[in-house]
Amino acid sequence: MTDARPVPGTAALRAHSPAVSAQRARRWGAFYYAEQVLRVMKGYSWSIVMYSVGVPVAYLFAMGVGLATLVDSQGGTAFGGVSYLAFIAPALLVSAAVMTAANEFTFPVMDGFKWRRTYYGPHASPLTPGQIAAGHIMAVTLRLLLQSAIYFIAVALFGAAPAGSAWALIPLATLAGLSFGLPLMAYSAAITEDKGQFALVMRFIVMPLFLFSGTFFPLDSLPLAVRWIGWISPVWHGTELGRVLGYGYQEPPLLTLLHLAVLAGLAVLGWVLARRRFALRMGQ
């Protein structure tokens, strides 16, 4: 027992007043929560880095050295006159960000609300549910930026990012990740019973989007019956925009704007819905 010790509050140490706490939380609350998520991520930073480095190297090697050799030897112009690797590199970058976002905005959200209820700790503090959602989003955004930067370096080393604007693939992939991840976050926040929904999302949404979004071949080589998957897919919009930035792919400027609008629109819509869902669920 530690009976001789002063009990809390009697030491010279003083916290600032509740009014100051509330004022700071109102202004910086989302950052405070982002700090928490990043601290948790730090616990598995090694696997984050290995994943961020390993995945691009594996894909670029398989596609760039293996498949590309075969495709490029056909000498076709199907890929706008660039190497097959330059053609798929933006798609790989965007897809990787979307997959990471799909992971970060499903299980951890369920963990926050149900499994370990980690959202309810900060919820009892001056933070608001909207700030908790925002903090989670900010931390994942940072992770996506880091991962995309590593991926981009790998792509550049493989010589698959010829255009001067190719670096913009980093924020673009991050935006694409959010445009898919944030609506998914809103959905995750609405799930009260885990019946394997997330596994279904991965298998029947994330995988088809990866395969049928003009990733490995131009979308218009697909029959019209499945081409719509691409049109509604953030992966396709991100990939097409990525090709413009990555190797100067030619498309009508309006279409480029449309890609950007779809990605930004989905991300904003997802954020608004997630925020509302967080407030509803925590306020019960």
Partner 1 sequence: MHNEAILPSGTRSGSPPSRPIVIAAENLTKKYGDLAAVNGISFSVPAGQSFGLLGPNGAGKSTAMKMIGGVTRRTSGRLDIMGLDPDTHGPEVRAHLGVVPQQDNLDEELRVRDNLLVYGRYFGLPMSYLKPKADELLEFAQLTDKAKSKVDALSGGMKRRLTIARSLINEPRILLLDEPTTGLDPQARHILWDRLFRLKEQGVTLVLTTHYMDEAEQLCDRLIVVDKGRIMAEGSPARLIREHSTREVVELRFGSERNTTIAAELDGIGERLEVLPDRVLIYADDGESALEQVASRGLRPLTSLVRRSSLEDVFLRLTGRSLVD
Applying CB under 8 A, among 13, 224, 225, 254 the residue interacting with partner 1 is: 13
Q: Which is nearer to partner 1, 31 or 204 (CB)?
A: 31
Q: Does 120 bind partner 1 (CB under 8 A)?
A: yes
Q: Are 206 and 102 in contact (CB under 8 A)?
A: yes
Q: Does 24 bind partner 1 (CB under 8 A)?
A: yes
112-117-118-124 Cα dihedral, nearest 10 degrees? 120
Judged by CB under 8 A, the stretch of 13-21, 53-61, 146-154, 221-229 that binds partner 1 is 13-21
Residue 274 tokens read as 């997630």
3-state secondary structure of 224: helix
Q: Does 2 bind partner 1 (CB under 8 A)?
A: yes
Cβ of 125: how many Cβ atoms within 10 Å?
14
Applying CB under 8 A, among 30, 32, 90, 143 the residue interacting with partner 1 is: 32
Q: Does 39 bind partner 1 (CB under 8 A)?
A: yes
Q: How far is the CB of 47 from partner 1 (least distance, A)?
A: 13
Angle between helices 234-247 and 224-231 (to 10 degrees): 80
Q: Does 254 bind partner 1 (CB under 8 A)?
A: no
Q: How far is the CB of 29 from partner 1 (least distance, A)?
A: 7
What is the DSSP code string of 137-191?
A: HHHHHHHHHHHHHHHHHHHHHTT---SGGGGGHHHHHHHHHHHHHHHHHHHHHH-
Q: Which is nearer to partner 1, 14 or 195 (CB)?
A: 14
Q: Does 283 bind partner 1 (CB under 8 A)?
A: yes
Residue 80 CA to residue 68 CA, distance in Å, equals 14
Q: How far is the CB of 9 from partner 1 (least distance, A)?
A: 5
Judged by CB under 8 A, the stretch of 80-88, 116-124, 169-177, 207-215 that binds partner 1 is 116-124
Look at residues 27, 46, 144, 53 and name the one whose alpha carbon lies nearest to residue 94. Answer: 144
Interactions with partner 1, residue window 141-160 (CB under 8 A): none
Residue 64 CA to residue 67 CA, distance in Å, equals 6
Q: Which is nearer to partner 1, 32 or 59 (CB)?
A: 32
Residue 211 CA to residue 178 CA, distance in Å, equals 19
Judged by CB under 8 A, the stretch of 23-31, 47-55, 167-175, 247-255 that binds partner 1 is 23-31
Q: Does 121 bind partner 1 (CB under 8 A)?
A: yes
Q: Does 192 bind partner 1 (CB under 8 A)?
A: no
Count the helices and strands in the chain (H runs, E runs). 13, 0
Residues 6 or more apart whose CB falls under 8 angstroms from that of 47 comprise: none
Q: Does 28 bind partner 1 (CB under 8 A)?
A: yes
Which residues contribute to the site for partner 1 (CB under 8 A)?
1-2, 5-11, 13-16, 18-26, 28-29, 32-33, 35-36, 39-40, 43, 116-128, 282-284
